[in-house]
Amino acid sequence: MPDSTQKFAMIEFFQRRLKFSGFEKNKGPEKPSRGIYWVVGIWIFLALFADLLSNELPLSCTLDGKRYFPALEESWSKLTGQSSPRIKYLSQSGKMDNKWMPLIPYSPGTIDRANAGFVGPFSPQHIDGWRYRHWLGTDGLGRDVLAGLVHGSRIAIIIGLLSVLLAMIMGVIPGAIAGYFGDKGWRVNLPSGLIGLAVGALLIWVIAVAISSAGSRGNLLLLTPLIILTGWLLHYLRVALSQKYPNSFLKRSMSVPLDIILLRIIEVFRSLPALFILLALLAIVREAGILQMALILALIMWPSFARYTRAEFIALREQEFVAAAKLLRKSHFNIIFREILPNAVPPIAVVSAFGLSSAILAESTLSFLGIGLSADTVSWGSMLNEARKYFGAWWLAIFPGLAIFVVVFTMNSLGDFLSRKYSSS
C-alpha cells in the first residue's frame, strides 16, 4: 500500500499527464486572430468610404473655373438626407476639367450598355481604356460587379448593426426586468397597468403601420411621443384621484409574473420557423427599405437577447453587490441598469456578434429570393439573384458569395472567441 506522500505524487503525475495530453480545459486565445481585425477593418473602411472608392462622379473637378468635389457632396447628401447632386453634375460632365476619378469609376447603379449581357472579368470589354475596365465583370444590365460589392458592404453593415441594435433594445430590457423581478417581485397598480398595456398596444400598432408602409415614418415620429405623453398624463391623473379616494379601485395592485410571461412569448417565437415569420412580415410590407428590413430582422432576433439577458440576471441578482445596493435603498432602475447590466455585457456581446452574422445572412437570403430590399438597391444577395438568370455568369455567384462567407465566418469566429473568453473568465 502506498503512503500518503506517494498518493499525492501519483495524483500530481496524472494531473500533469492530463494537462499535456490536452484534456485540460481550453482557455482559448487571449486575443482574437489578426484575420478578424483585418476583415472587420476592411469591411468598415469600404462601408464608410464607398462613395469615394466607387462612383461615376469625380472626386474633384473644375467647373466654370471653380473647384468642386462631387463624390464627397453626394456622400454628404446621403448622410444628411438632402437631395443628391448626381443629376446636376452628370448633366455637366462634358464641361468638367481636371477630373480626379475614384478608384472604381462606376456607381453600383451605373449601366454600361456597351458591356451589358453578363461580361466576364476575362472577356473582351468595350471600354476606352484599362482605367474603365470592369475587373470583376458585369451583370445582365451592364452594372459593375466590383462597385456592387463595395456598396453592398455598406448595406450589409447598416442592416446588420441596425437590426442588432433594435433587437438588443427589444430583448435586453424585457430580459433584464424579467430576470430581476422574477414571477412575484414586481407589483403594479392595476389601473396603471391597464394604461400601460393600452399605450404599448398603440405603439405596436404604429410600428406595424410604419413597417407596412414606407410613407408612414413621419406619422410614427409624430404619434410616438403623443401616445407616450397621453399615457403619462393618464397615470398622473390616476395618482391624483387615488389620493383623493384612497379606498377606491384606483389603489388596487397585483403581482405580475414577468418571468413566465416572457418565457411563454419566447417559446411562441422560437416555435415558429424564422423564414416563415420573415415571409409573413414581408407580405405586408409595400416597399422593403433598410429600416423595414432591420425591424423585421430584429423581430426574429430579439428572443435570443431576452433569453441570455434573463439567465444572466437570474444568476447575478443574488450576488453580494446587489444585496448591498438594496441595503443602500437604491431604486430598482438603478440596480438593474447601473449595477447588474454592466456585469451582463459579455453574453450580450456574444449574442450580438452571432446576431450580426445572422442578420447579414438573412438579408442576403431574402434578396437572393427576390423578396428583400427594393429592386434599385444593390446588395450582395441581389447580386447573387442576378446569377440565377444566367448560370454561365460564375463571377456573379463567386464574388458576392465569397464576400458573404468571409463576413459571416469572421463574425461567427468573433462570437466564438468572445464566448470562450467569457466562459474561461
Give the pLDDT of residue 23. Answer: 35
Q: Which residue has the higher pLDDT, 302 or 16?
A: 302
Give the pLDDT of residue 219. Answer: 56
* Nearest Cα to Cα of residue 148 among 391, 367, 390, 409: 367
Mean pLDDT of 3-27: 42
Give the pLDDT of residue 211. Answer: 60
Averaged pLDDT of the chain = 84
Put the strands of the sheet holding 97-100 in their side by side order.
66-68, 60-63, 97-100
Mean pLDDT of 108-123: 91
Q: Tell me: pLDDT of 104 over 50.
A: yes
Tell me the pLDDT band of 167, cut-offs 50, 70 and 90. very high
Give the pLDDT of residue 286. Answer: 67
Mean pLDDT of 233-242: 79
Q: Tell me: pLDDT of 13 over 50.
A: no
Q: Which residue has the higher pLDDT, 210 or 157?
A: 157
Give the pLDDT of residue 227. Answer: 80
For the chain, the domains span 107-186+264-425, 187-255
Burial 378-417 (b: 16+ CB within 10 A, else e): bbbbbbbbbbeeeeebebbeebbbebbeebbebbbbbbeb
Give the pLDDT of residue 424. Answer: 74
Q: Tell me: pLDDT of 156 over 70.
A: yes
Mean pLDDT of 391-403: 93
Q: Tell me: pLDDT of 249 over 50.
A: yes
Q: Tell me: pLDDT of 150 over 50.
A: yes
Give the pLDDT of residue 403. Answer: 96
Tell me the pLDDT band of 119, cut-offs 50, 70 and 90. very high
Give the pLDDT of residue 341. Answer: 92
Q: Tell me: pLDDT of 411 over 60.
A: yes
Q: Tell me: pLDDT of 201 over 50.
A: yes
Mean pLDDT of 290-313: 91
Architecture, CATH, for domain 107-186+264-425: Orthogonal Bundle (1.10)
Question: Cα angle at 202 between 196 and 203, to 5 degrees?
Answer: 90
Mean pLDDT of 141-156: 94
Mean pLDDT of 277-287: 78
Q: Tell me: pLDDT of 6 over 60.
A: no
Dihedral sign of CA atoms 94, 100, 103, 108 in order? negative
Q: Tell me: pLDDT of 292 over 70.
A: yes
Give the pLDDT of residue 190. Answer: 75
Tell me the pLDDT band of 425, cut-offs 50, 70 and 90. low
Q: Tell me: pLDDT of 30 over 70.
A: no
Mean pLDDT of 301-320: 92
Q: Which residue has the higher pLDDT, 238 or 42?
A: 42
- A 10 A CB-CB count for 93 gives 14
CA 146 to chain centre: 24
Q: How far is Cα 254 from Cα 339, in angstroms, rounded to an integer?
A: 27
Q: Tell me: pLDDT of 91 over 60.
A: yes
Give the pLDDT of residue 8. Answer: 42
Give the pLDDT of residue 95. Answer: 86
**pLDDT tens profile 214-233:** 544 555 656 777 888 888 88
Residue pair 364/381 in contact (Cβ under 8 Å)? The answer is: yes
**Percentage of the chain modeled with pLDDT above 90:** 42
Mean pLDDT of 166-191: 87
> SS3 for 103?
coil
Q: How far is Cα 302 from Cα 348, in angstroms, rounded to an integer?
A: 11
Q: Tell me: pLDDT of 305 over 80.
A: yes
Q: How far is Cα 190 from Cα 304, in angstroms, rounded to an integer?
A: 30
Q: How far is Cα 364 from Cα 109, in angstroms, rounded to an integer?
A: 18
Q: Tell me: pLDDT of 29 over 90.
A: no
CA 93 to chain centre: 38
Give the pLDDT of residue 213. Answer: 60
